[in-house]
Structure 1
């Protein structure tokens, strides 16, 4: 009868209180779980920071590592790669039908 005249029912109020209590309890558990995750991540960040600092103290900077001999070695590597690429281009020729390159058989060159 109370619901017919617009008054809230007692059972409904109890049900709402139970829902709010459940929501509060779930929120509290989520908060605790998130705090644990934050603590764990903070620990990981501290460890990684210490590792990075130790590594930077043990290794000279990039500027100090490059010596003239290393620069020459690097350019020699680049020259070799360029030479290999030129050799590859000289030992292949395009297929007139498809345009793709295939190896030239050097033994047949002298027999023509």
Structure 2
């Protein structure tokens, strides 16, 4: 999904195709949903990973809120959170509590 405020959808669409090409089911969230709805969606869908695309460092607070929300879910229900996008790739954001930063899409295949 895009970080709230990130209106660029090309990257998450490419990532979705990249994952599907590797036989990974990857629903794409284009429109931003509030945190309560996101929590409900995560509990219902039970994904193993939540991938966030952050274009700008100004989106950091929203990404931190999403990561914190995931961390508050029951341990057996919360996915690992990965954050990528221009803000990460360019080094403008170097830390998100509770999340792993991924500057290179190919590194996704190396995580547990």
Q: If the length of structure 2 is used for normalisation, what is the TM-score?
A: 0.17
Q: If the length of structure 1 is used for normalisation, what is the TM-score?
A: 0.17
Higher RCO, Cα 8 Å, sep 6+: 2
Higher helix share: 1
Higher strand share: 2
The structure with the larger Rg is: 1
